[in-house]
Structure 1
Amino acid sequence: MNHPEILLLPVLMIADYYLTILGAVFRERGYGKHFKIETYELNPDYRSEVDSKSLLNLKFIGQVLFNFGILLASSVFLTGKYEFAYQIVLGFYLTLFGYINGLHTSNLLTFLFVAKNPGTFEGAIDIPHGFNLRRS
């Protein structure tokens, strides 16, 4: 394999899914009473699986395989003078999922802080779904 870095994509995508599940669990343990949102998962394709905390999601596995296939094909066919195009595709995926996993990590750290410092927040704020979509 000429480009072992492509293995980072499925790792980051799988981390995204399980960090989402973990975030939904943590949110229910305290943070959610202060910040009211319509749903934790913004992607309607996975909302029911995240809400039910499903650890196996075949739609998601299909998406991981599809995107990995795109990246693998890019690494095979975009060689030589087109290597820059492969690097653009790789950079897109790694930047996107690095950012998403960073958001999840930030959320988890916030949830942990609230759990360890229960008196930090008082009251509740309703966060519109549209705001969450624009923020993400």
Structure 2
Amino acid sequence: MNWENLDRTRRDSAHYSVMQVQPGVGGMVALREMFPEAKADELNFVLFSTSGVHGTYCTIEAVESRLRGEDPDGPSDVTFLVVQPRIVALRYGVCKPANQADIDYLKRLRESSIKVASTIGIEAPQ
């Protein structure tokens, strides 16, 4: 289990929950487990650079710039929020992309998430 429910009374249920990446589990590991093909759907999608109490507004591109050596003092991590609308659950964490493959994965996941989120509540064409 890569996620820890913040509601200590409901550890066994993801419904109506807020969960964080387990201590010691990397955000990239948790995301790749939930989205092995970097594809979001109407059940699970991801928002990046969400900051809040658990991270920063740093973008995937800012981390990519650091990895390429263009900004050696740039950020090394990206905050994320997984939204699960059907079970009314949120999962959050910070991921630290280690290479271009991780960056490419995050960009694909972000793109598929944007597409999914933009269609929720809109009737599909007949």
Under a length normalisation based on structure 2, what TM-score does the superposition of the two structures give? 0.28
User: Comparing both structures, which one devotes a greater share of its residues to helix?
Assistant: 1
The structure having more radius of gyration, on CA atoms, is 1
Under a length normalisation based on structure 1, what TM-score does the superposition of the two structures give? 0.27
User: Comparing both structures, which one devotes a greater share of its residues to strand?
Assistant: 2
